[in-house]
């Protein structure tokens, strides 16, 4: 009987992995020009993602929560639903459902499902663009022509390629193939040549640098422990510094200052955007609806773009201060458990997305930042253990 049950469990896990992969394919399509060209496509994709998430979550109902876990998950769920009701953005609700629905799987299986889903999704979008089913939108920045390659904007494809190389490193961290890493780097460099995605190019280079150090140091337990401590502390300090800087910009940015205007130009007008949104809407407690206009839509409508491309300003203004606080606590707990589990690749990932958070919102995008889903799954699997979540206990397996 036990053998039959084991086979049933294996089948169940395979189905869950398949559902995760399909969800990630759909999300890639949702961030392409497909919903822009075919209006009903966006609604269809979002409904399909929600249905698949429900199937994924229902499949884990046989795995019980204890009282403390249930209180934590339900409280966060109510908060995210309230934020969704006020802001109209379901990002965090989807994240929570995906975490809860993946909690029976090991993190490498989840990473593989995400990886193959995104590879398939990006490939489909590329061929749709190649056959002119969706457009390759061109924009100009500082006289440089940028190509979207079938996605909503030029940065989207490079963000996905960064996510793919990180997911590959997590999924195959014990047996990474250097040839695949080199191939992915070549694809990334060629793509950035067309998209002119400066931030993501810098992140790729930093990732390669940190990965090289990982390979050099991993043979020594003492060196790896020191490396992990640096990543853990560096990530937390980066998050706190970025939040403080975001607040300063929102409060003190001045259009008449040559210093501020020079900085604003360096950050592609992101500083003035933070200030303008903060002045117009202010910070909310549980979220609010804000008007945003993408660069592509602005060009189509002959209007000025309204883009809030800073993670913490977006969290505080659109999703709410309470969600921002919960997110920071969750991110820090996730970093602690990666440290406790000695998963250096996830610490590198958490650091990279923290580094980019002032210049974009990918740190809280569930389809980009793998540390969100895997951090949540590990926290649930460890029963939100206080010592584990604070990084006090250590696993001797360095990886």
pLDDT tens by residue, the chain, 399 residues: 344 547 777 888 899 999 999 999 999 999 999 998 888 898 999 999 999 999 998 877 766 667 777 788 888 889 999 998 999 889 999 999 999 999 889 999 999 999 999 999 999 999 999 999 999 988 877 677 888 999 988 889 999 999 999 999 999 988 888 899 999 999 999 998 898 888 889 999 999 999 999 999 988 888 999 999 999 999 999 999 999 999 998 888 877 788 888 888 888 788 888 888 998 999 999 989 988 776 666 666 666 667 888 899 999 999 999 999 999 999 999 999 999 999 999 999 999 999 999 888 788 899 999 999 999 999 988 876 655 555 555 544 444
pTM: 0.89
d(CA 114, CA 171): 9
Which residues are CB-neighbours of 115 under 8 A, at least 6 positions away?
Answer: 164, 167, 168, 171
pLDDT of 17: 94
For 368, the token pair is: 């980009």
pLDDT of 294: 67
- Domain-embedded: residue 290: no
CB 173 within 8 A of CB 399: yes
Sign of the Cα torsion 150, 155, 159, 165 reads positive
Cα–Cα nearest to 321, from 272, 273, 286: 286
Looking up tokens 């995906």 gives 98
- Domain-embedded: residue 64: yes
d(CA 202, CA 282): 31
First CA to last CA distance, the chain: 36
Q: State the DSSP H helix or E strand holding residue 140, giving kind and residue range, or none if neither.
A: strand 138-141
pLDDT of 220: 86
CB 51 within 8 A of CB 95: no
Find how far residue 25's CA is from the centre of its chain: 15
pLDDT of 292: 77
pLDDT of 1: 37
- Domain-embedded: residue 272: no
- Domain-embedded: residue 330: yes
Which structural domain, as residue segments, surrounds residue 333? 2-244+312-389
- Domain-embedded: residue 274: no
Phi–psi pair at 305, nearest 5 degrees: -70, 145
Number of domains into which the chain is organized: 1
pLDDT of 344: 94
Provide the strand spans (E) within 112-154: 138-141, 144-147
For 168, the token pair is: 């590959």
For 390, the token pair is: 């604070």
d(CA 25, CA 28): 5
- Domain-embedded: residue 261: no
Residue 59 per-residue DSSP state? T
pLDDT of 398: 43
- Domain-embedded: residue 273: no
Q: State the DSSP H helix or E strand holding residue 146, giving kind and residue range, or none if neither.
A: strand 144-147
- Domain-embedded: residue 397: no
For 276, the token pair is: 């303008």
């Amino acid at each position: 009987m036990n053998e039959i049950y084991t086979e049933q469990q294996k089948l169940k896990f395979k189905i869950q992995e398949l559902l995760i992969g399909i969800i990630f394919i759909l999300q890639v399509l949702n961030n392409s020009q497909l919903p822009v060209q075919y209006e009903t496509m966006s609604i269809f994709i979002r409904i399909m993602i929600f249905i698949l998430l429900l199937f994924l979550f229902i499949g884990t109902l046989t795995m019980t929560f204890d009282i403390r876990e249930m209180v934590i998950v339900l409280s966060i769920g109510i908060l995210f639903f309230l934020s969704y009701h006020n802001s109209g953005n379901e990002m965090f609700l989807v994240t929570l459902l995906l975490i809860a629905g993946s909690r029976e799987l090991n993190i490498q299986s989840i990473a593989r499902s995400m990886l193959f889903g995104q590879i398939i999704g990006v490939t489909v979008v590329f061929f749709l663009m190649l056959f002119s089913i969706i457009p390759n939108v061109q924009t100009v920045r500082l006289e440089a022509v940028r190509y979207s390659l079938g996605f909503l904007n030029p940065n989207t494809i490079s963000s996905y390629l960064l996510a793919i190389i990180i997911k590959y490193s997590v999924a195959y961290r014990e047996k990474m193939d250097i040839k695949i890493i080199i191939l992915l780097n070549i694809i990334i460099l060629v793509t950035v040549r067309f998209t002119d995605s400066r931030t993501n190019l810098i992140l790729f280079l930093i990732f390669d640098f940190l990965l090289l150090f990982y390979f050099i140091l991993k043979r020594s337990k003492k060196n790896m422990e020191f490396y992990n401590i640096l990543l853990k502390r560096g990530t937390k300090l980066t998050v706190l510094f970025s939040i403080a800087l975001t607040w300063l910009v929102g409060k003190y940015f001045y259009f008449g200052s040559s210093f501020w205007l020079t900085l604003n130009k360096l950050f592609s007008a992101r500083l003035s955007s933070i200030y303008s949104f903060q002045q117009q809407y202010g910070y909310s407690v549980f979220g609010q609806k804000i008007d945003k206009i993408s660069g592509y839509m602005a060009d189509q409508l002959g209007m000025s773009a309204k883009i809030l491309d800073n993670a913490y300003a977006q969290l505080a203004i659109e999703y709410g201060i309470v969600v921002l606080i919960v997110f920071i606590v969750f991110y820090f707990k996730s970093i602690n458990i990666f440290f406790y589990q000695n998963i250096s690749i996830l610490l590198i990932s958490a650091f990279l997305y923290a580094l980019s958070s002032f210049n974009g919102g990918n740190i809280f995008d569930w389809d980009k930042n793998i540390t969100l889903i895997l951090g949540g799954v590990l926290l649930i699997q460890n029963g939100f253990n206080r010592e584990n979540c604070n990084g006090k206990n250590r696993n001797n397996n360095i990886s």
